[in-house]
Chain A
Amino acid sequence: MSRELSELYRSLAADADARDLGLPDVLRHQADRRARFRAAGGTLAVALVVVGAVIGAQAVAVAPPPVPAPVGTAASPSASPSASPSASPSPSATGAAPSPPVSPTTPGRSPGTTTTPPGGTGTQPPTTPTRIPDRAFFALAPANQTGIAPQFRDEAVLPGLCGAAIGNAQVVHRRTRLLIYKLPQNPGGEHVPDGSYMHSITIYRAGHADDVLKELRQAVRDCPEQGWPGASSVRSRQRLLPDSGFGNESVLFEMRSAGQDVNGDPTGVEDVRLIRVIRVGDVVTVLWEQGWENTSSQRAQVDADSRRAVAAIRRWLG
């Protein structure tokens, strides 16, 4: 007997309708109980961070000044998720601090893979393959792992920027994955994750990868404000942030949108998204931090994961 797809979906809907999801007041009660449990866990984590910071400060006061690590090394101390005050996310570390607009310091066009990368962060000209293996994608630090496997999917690699089309030409190969993480102080288990990345790697034809970053900088400058898709009342503000030390060159920008209360008035709390685009030879990787349930991007975490992303790509390219 032949059937149409709509008939099958109607059968599925009928099956779904046959079951009851429960009463809303029971669900509200349970949700509130879990929220109180999470809040208690969060308070304990903050207390531990504060105690660690005090002990760390005392240790620094008697120790000789540390020697700064080379810029761009994967094992840079600031990249490792530790309990140090600079690396531990805090309300002040949410997103990025306001700063003046970035001056155009983009390196000139690199003629494909034969150019010596500027900035001294990579001295070996990478050879560019035509396919992207799994090993090109970085693994989260153990403290950031949730146990949720990354999922490769066909999604947009960059947020909309006033309709600008960026980086979709001259593509040799692209893979995109959703990567879910937790912050180091989150114990995991029943606790929900703290953020997610839409992480992509794209191979461009020789000499075109730097055009992508150039177009992106211009697109961010040309789109200082826009409405969210499907929610025109919510405005998002975009701006470039100073960035260096990632790959051959990189672009970092933020998207900020104001939270609203029940009356539609600003709460003063902003949702901040950080997006970093990094070029390594003819390869471009994008870490688009998308948060988790309205959490804001943490700059220290995005920096640490960006370094891991570059290190994985360099290992892959050889």
Chain B
Amino acid sequence: MVRDAQSFDDFYRSTTRRMMRYGYAVVGDYTEAQDLVQEAYARAWRQWGRLSAHPAPEAWLRLVVARLATDRWRRLRGLRGALRLAGPPPPVSPPNEDSVLLVRALRQVPATHRRALALHYLLDMPVEEIAQEIDVPVGTVKSWLSRGRARLAALLPDLVVVELEATDVA
């Protein structure tokens, strides 16, 4: 099937930032998230002939990242080659303290809750859309968000848990 490299590159450039934020929040380790997101894009490219016609290719990518995140066994050595081809990564400033604290706390939150929290807080998705993307009932998403927030509040003592809206968590 014909794959349009230009449309893939456009898709890649327009979505990588969101995907990396999502991957970082779900995986809890930046380097690993980088590998997983690259692997997801590589798979997207292999199926780009079909995926380009998909109604929600970015949601498809997020699903792949979430699945790969459960797979800590494979170290994705093959994709590290892409990093080597691209040369050494540019120097970056150290992460800020809030980010480190959040990532450390997220590692102690179940994967399903991390996923729902990332979709909600990073991608501003309402509960109904999250439920549709993950293919679970709305009530389940509400429960995950509520429990995830409660867990984070316990792990981050000075965290302010804001009042929840009706469309958020019951």
Of A9, A12, A260, A263, which is in contact with the most chain B CB atoms at under 10 Å from its CB?
Answer: A12
CB distance from B108 to the nearest CB of A (A): 14
Sort chain B's interface into a size bin: 35 or more
Question: How far, in whole Å, are A227 and B73 apart by their CA atoms in the complex?
Answer: 35
Q: A4-38, CB under 8 A of B: which get 1 and which 0?
A: 11111101111111111111111111111011000
Q: Which of A9, A12, A14, A230 contacts B56 (CB 8 A)?
A: A230
Indicate if the CB atoms of B1 and A262 lie closer than 8 Å: yes
Listed stretches A98-106, A111-119, A150-158, A201-209; interface member = A150-158
Residues of chain A lying within 8 A (CB to CB) of residue B149: 5
| Number of residue pairs spanning A and B whose beta carbons lie under 8 angstroms apart | 190
- Tell whether, in the assembled complex, residue B152 and residue A5 are in contact, meaning their CB atoms are under 8 Å apart: yes
Flag if A19 contacts B112 (CB, 8 Å): no
- In whole angstroms, what is the CA distance A26 to B87 when docked? 11
Q: A12-B103, A17-B20, A34-B78 are in contact. Are A263 and B73 (CB under 8 A)?
A: no
Residues 141-152 of B, flagged 1 when their CB comes within 8 A of A and 0 if not, give 000100001001
Chain B window 2-17, contacts with chain A (Cβ cutoff 8 Å), 1 for yes, 0 for no: 1011001100110011
Q: Which of A17, A178, A267 contacts B17 (CB 8 A)?
A: A17
Contact of A5 among B49, B112, B121, B136 (CB under 8 A): B121
Closest to A22 in B: B86
Q: Is the CB of A19 within 8 A of B34?
A: yes
- Specify which chain A residues have a CB less than 8 angstroms from the CB of B160 in the assembled complex: 2-5
Contact residue among B42, B98, B144 (Cβ-Cβ distance under 8 Å from A31): B42
Quick check: B122 and A13 within 8 Å, CB to CB?
yes
Residue A160 is within 8 A (CB to CB) of chain B in the complex:
yes
- The chain B residue sitting closest to A17, CB to CB, is B17
Closest to B86 in A: A22
Task: Evaluate contact between B30 and A190: CB separation under 8 angstroms.
Answer: no
- Whether B102 lies near A8 (C-beta < 8 A) is yes
Q: Judge whether B37 and A11 touch: CB under 8 Å.
A: no
Complex Cα gap A178–B110 (Å)? 14
Q: Is the CB of B16 within 8 A of A21?
A: yes
CB distance from A176 to the nearest CB of B (A): 11
A127: interface (CB < 8 Å): no
Which residues of A lie under 8 Å from residue B110 when comparing CB positions? 153-154
The 9 A-B pairs of least Cβ separation, nearest first, read A31-B42, A11-B98, A9-B121, A24-B12, A8-B102, A24-B9, A11-B99, A30-B82, A16-B21
Contacts A/B (CB < 8 Å), 11 sampled: A2-B160, A3-B158, A15-B95, A16-B17, A20-B90, A26-B85, A28-B5, A30-B85, A31-B42, A153-B110, A267-B1
